[in-house]
Structure 1
Amino acid sequence: MRLGQTSIVYLFSKIAGSLIGFLATIYFTRTLGEEVYGFYAITLALVSWLGIVKSIGFGQAIVKRMSESEESDAYLAAGTAVKAVLTALVGLGVILFRDQVNAYVGRPVAEFVVLLLVVSIFSGLVNSALKGSHRVHIYAPLGTGKQAARNLAMVALVFIGWELSGMLLGYAIGTGVIAVIGFAYVRPSLAIPRWRHVRGLFDFAKYSWLGSMRKKVFSDMDIIVLGLFVPAGLTGVYAIAYTLGKFLDIFGSAIRTTLFPELSKRSAAGDDEMVRTLTNDAITYAGLFLIPGIVGSAVIGDRLMRIYGDGFAIGAQVLTILLVGILAYSYNKQLLNTLNGIDRPDLAFRANAVFIGANLVLNIALVYTIGWIGAAIATATSAGIGLVVGYRYASTHVAFAVPYGEMGRQWIAALCMGVIVYVARELGEANFGWIDAYNAVFVVGLVGLGAAVYFTLLLGISARFRTTVADNLPFEVPLLGR
């Protein structure tokens, strides 16, 4: 597998952005506490869900049609017009029902919801245009810039005492500024869309809209349900655990984002062999970070969560369960990425419908009966169900082989890593009394040790991984070979 320069740029850009967000979030949680962070998480989840109504899958449809057509500007204009109308309707609804919105969140945030909705629409359109025009190498650094701009504005406003309002306004400012910069890169020509362009988007979006909802269900359904049944403080802890888990899906996200335009192009050209190869590669490396993340969270999850504040340590168990779900979900997304790439969004639609239905029912039932841990169990279980269905559809149309050997080697390296990190933790806690006072330093050391052990072992036992690393380094490494 040769990820290439585009995927590498995307990967490191996402890592940089996530690290910026990680440090800023520690400031927010330690300054404002888990309850205020819970209000913030619920507000963003609500904006995300309202965003489903106005997008109806046109974001992915714009990427698809722009990547395969010479009329890219016309398709972008058509998507913009549809989204503008729907966004206006949703924003009006929020204003009319502001009292209900404020009561659900627990704070007066309705106006912020409308602002964030409008900004997110503009940002989403710019992102779709960048990806659809094969500018992922620009989209990725801008994503890092967006993280930096958001957090800089949020930290500044929280510092001067604006608390929740400062977080929400800073989020909107950072997102809007970077979206304007991205628009300057797109530089679309003025085009008047015709009805056939709208129909072309709709023909894809009528199936892919459920894929957009699938993403929101996995990311935000549990937060939405938790907002109904549990205190905002526990919702804040859960949101932090989920954010940590998603950080480890960076590599899988890099693969999906980079490969979709290529899958679409190869499928349109009838290159079935390359589609199969790309799918195999995607599945092979989807769990590269997540597998050791699961093992690591089981060993040091409580200390990792404590970095955000002592009140967050209770989220360690939730973190491990969520990581299992994110792993299954990551594999499933690779498969559905292939289905969309070969222009079979109808099958992806069916797989998404099963996942969404299972997630909704399980979240409500389990959160109501066993509390906030039920949300993590529901997420992991529904992700597993979605993976089974996605595999069934994808394997019927693409002759890929599940790389059990490579995945097994990743688990072996991760389990060995877990043993070594566990021993290091026990020795450290038994012999160094300063560790509790400098928990963050200790955790960083354990994570660094674990990463070194895992990747060293994987390089030693996996010839395919050695080849992948060698092929994508800008210089020769004799021990890795080519």
Structure 2
Amino acid sequence: MRLGQTSIIYALSKFVASGIGFFATIYLTRTLGEEIYGFYAITLALVSWLGLVKGVGFGNAIIKRMSEGEEPDAYLAAGTLIKTVLTFVVATGILVFQDQVNDYVGQPVAEFVVLLLIVSIFTGLVNAALKGSHMVHIYAPLSTLREAGRSVAMVALVVVGWELSGMLLGHALGTAVMATIGLWIVRPSFVRPRWQHVVRLFDFAKFSWLGSMRKKTFSEADILILGLFVPAGFAGIYAVAYSLSKFLEIFGSAIQKTLFPEMSKRSAQEEMEMIETLTDDALTFAGFFLVPGVVGAAILGDRLLLVYGSGFDIGHWILVILLVGLTIYTYTKQLLNTLNAIDRPDLAFRANGIFIVANVVLNVVLVYSIGWFGAAIATASSAVIGFVLSLYYCRQFIDVRLPVGEIGRQWIAAVSMGGVVYLARAFGEANLTWVDDYNFAFVVLLVGLGAAIYFVILILISRRIRTTISRNLPSDVPIAG
């Protein structure tokens, strides 16, 4: 299958999963409000970071060793043993310091944190087994079903009046059920691991753990720090804004995951010119949805956030700043992907380390100084630092030239789209005052209009986009002209 088609299939499954979560979140925020959703977001961020402590890169190590094809079940068993021991230590610590955990979150959630940790180790092991067994084609749709099951369980328990407890328990139940289905699909043989399996897992994990921490830092460090300095309601609005921005980053992540094995193979064959071409492709298309997302958020962000309930619109410019940061971060991930593919994880490790320190320090300083806007500014600023470093390291080995022309055309199309959407919004607001609660339908129409205008303009002004679309259609269509 063509690389472009593979990226699209992966991205579509993620778009469906995010869409399901989008509508579930709307119901939850409208029903419970931003404060309770803030408690939920802070709890999940805490679980995620504690989960990183118990995993320390062993998830990626399990995938790597299982994919090599030699004694995969033994490596899965060794990884399960390691992660179980680490989880037991972390869970014990949570129960011992449960008063401090509850005080930090602002609600009695320590037992739920332990439950979610246990579910996360189970899910992580199943995901690693699926990927390591070359069942990514199953993992992607299963992750969509997991999001659906989780959303249904959360909404159902909130409907019966469980509020925050229902959200946390529903999250755990929906995740565990889908993980059980994944385990049934993999059906590993339970074997007794040897010490050499543990050692080989550690040999890989000692380099991969910082990459995992970089992801957690970018996605959740700001929410954890917000939990220290601002009310939970602000953290809830921030979490909603971040989830919206991540929706537009899916395609960039799909490109990264799809290109890595191809770039790794080309590197082994010393085809550096092809790696340069693939890196250029990655940088060209990574911001394909994010660039118009930045412009669209600037014009419609307040109305889009109002879909989640009254009061959420104060996160308008938080959303814009986060999208700017996420756009830069997505370009950074493509460059780090190249470094790993050409077997320079040491440089990726160094770039990740500096990025993490910058992100955490800036978050603490700026959130303490100027409040929740500081978290968004810190996230965007650390993304810039990561991009500069990763570009510098890549240029030591390959000729990386930023596709300024293509990215510029994306911005031209996005700004042109923005002008039309701005006028359409102004016209609609002036003539729809007689309609009650028209916001949701109005936003959907404006987003659809903007997307159509953006893609039409981009196809008209970019020959490369036309050619790429034509090559990846299931049949020959003369769009390239």
- The answer (yes or no) to whether the contact 1:64–1:261 under 8 Å persists in 2 is no
Partner residue in 1 for 2:64: 64
Partner of 2:343: helix, strand, or coil?
Answer: coil
Find the aligned partners of 1:97 and 1:211 in 2 and give their Cα distance: 28
The answer on 1:42 being equivalent to 2:28 is no
Which TM-score applies when normalising by structure 1? 0.95
The answer on 1:8 being equivalent to 2:40 is no
1:19-38, aligned counterparts within 5 Å?
Answer: 19-38=19-38
Judging changes above 3 Å, is the alpha-carbon distance between structure 1 residues 275 and 134 closer, same or farther for their aligned structure 2 residues? farther
Deviations 1:222-281 (A, max 9, x none): 101110111111110111000000000010111122333444444445444443333222
1:160-171, aligned counterparts within 5 Å?
Answer: 160-171=160-171
1:94-133, aligned counterparts within 5 Å?
Answer: 94-133=94-133
Partner of 2:297: helix, strand, or coil?
Answer: helix
Deviations 1:451-481 (A, max 9, x none): 0011111111122212221222223323346
- The answer (yes or no) to whether the contact 2:413–2:458 under 8 Å persists in 1 is yes
Partner residue in 1 for 2:394: 394
Partner residue in 2 for 1:286: 286
| Paired letter, 1:138 | I
Could you tell me how far 1:69 is from its partner in structure 2?
Answer: 4.8
Could you tell me how far 1:192 is from its partner in structure 2?
Answer: 3.9
| Paired letter, 1:462 | S
**Which deviates the most, 37-46 or 173-182?**
173-182
Partner residue in 1 for 2:384: 384
Deviations 1:347-403 (A, max 9, x none): 111101111111111111111111111110011001111111111112223444322
Find the aligned partners of 1:278 and 1:58 in 2 and give their Cα distance: 29
Partner residue in 1 for 2:197: 197
Partner residue in 2 for 1:173: 173
Partner residue in 2 for 1:372: 372
Could you tell me how far 1:66 is from its partner in structure 2?
Answer: 3.4
- The answer (yes or no) to whether the contact 2:363–2:375 under 8 Å persists in 1 is yes
Could you tell me how far 1:302 is from its partner in structure 2?
Answer: 0.5
Judging changes above 3 Å, is the alpha-carbon distance between structure 1 residues 19 and 178 closer, same or farther for their aligned structure 2 residues? same
- The answer (yes or no) to whether the contact 1:119–1:176 under 8 Å persists in 2 is yes
Deviations 1:54-75 (A, max 9, x none): 1111222233333445443333
- The answer (yes or no) to whether the contact 2:348–2:390 under 8 Å persists in 1 is yes
Deviations 1:128-160 (A, max 9, x none): 232333322211111110110000000000000
Partner residue in 2 for 1:241: 241
**Which deviates the most, 120-129 or 173-182?**
120-129
Find the aligned partners of 2:96 and 2:333 in 1 and give their Cα distance: 36
1:391-470, aligned counterparts within 5 Å?
Answer: 391-434=391-434, 437-470=437-470
Find the aligned partners of 1:10 and 1:437 in 2 and give their Cα distance: 36
Partner of 1:421: helix, strand, or coil?
Answer: helix
Find the aligned partners of 2:277 and 2:188 in 1 and give their Cα distance: 33
| Paired letter, 2:139 | Y
Deviations 1:185-236 (A, max 9, x none): 3233444433333333322221221111111111111101110111111110
| Paired letter, 1:393 | Y
| Paired letter, 1:369 | S
- The answer (yes or no) to whether the contact 2:91–2:114 under 8 Å persists in 1 is yes
Judging changes above 3 Å, is the alpha-carbon distance between structure 1 residues 466 and 370 closer, same or farther for their aligned structure 2 residues? same
Which TM-score applies when normalising by structure 2? 0.96
Partner of 2:474: helix, strand, or coil?
Answer: coil
Partner residue in 1 for 2:214: 214
Find the aligned partners of 1:47 and 1:144 in 2 and give their Cα distance: 21
Partner of 1:321: helix, strand, or coil?
Answer: helix
Find the aligned partners of 2:341 and 2:442 in 1 and give their Cα distance: 44
Runs (4 or more) in structure 1 with deviation over 6 Å come to: none
Find the aligned partners of 1:421 and 1:435 in 2 and give their Cα distance: 20
| Paired letter, 1:258 | T
Find the aligned partners of 1:272 and 1:59 in 2 and give their Cα distance: 29
Find the aligned partners of 1:266 and 1:68 in 2 and give their Cα distance: 18
Partner residue in 1 for 2:157: 157
Judging changes above 3 Å, is the alpha-carbon distance between structure 1 residues 170 and 361 closer, same or farther for their aligned structure 2 residues? same
Partner of 2:395: helix, strand, or coil?
Answer: helix
Judging changes above 3 Å, is the alpha-carbon distance between structure 1 residues 70 and 398 closer, same or farther for their aligned structure 2 residues? farther
Gaps of 5+ in 1: none
Partner residue in 2 for 1:55: 55
Find the aligned partners of 1:397 and 1:434 in 2 and give their Cα distance: 62
| Paired letter, 2:431 | N
Partner of 1:396: helix, strand, or coil?
Answer: coil
Gaps of 5+ in 2: none
- The answer (yes or no) to whether the contact 1:59–1:125 under 8 Å persists in 2 is yes
Find the aligned partners of 1:58 and 1:264 in 2 and give their Cα distance: 21
- The answer (yes or no) to whether the contact 2:8–2:251 under 8 Å persists in 1 is no
Partner of 1:474: helix, strand, or coil?
Answer: coil
Judging changes above 3 Å, is the alpha-carbon distance between structure 1 residues 145 and 215 closer, same or farther for their aligned structure 2 residues? same
Partner of 1:433: helix, strand, or coil?
Answer: coil
**Which deviates the most, 75-84 or 286-295?**
75-84
Find the aligned partners of 2:343 and 2:189 in 1 and give their Cα distance: 27
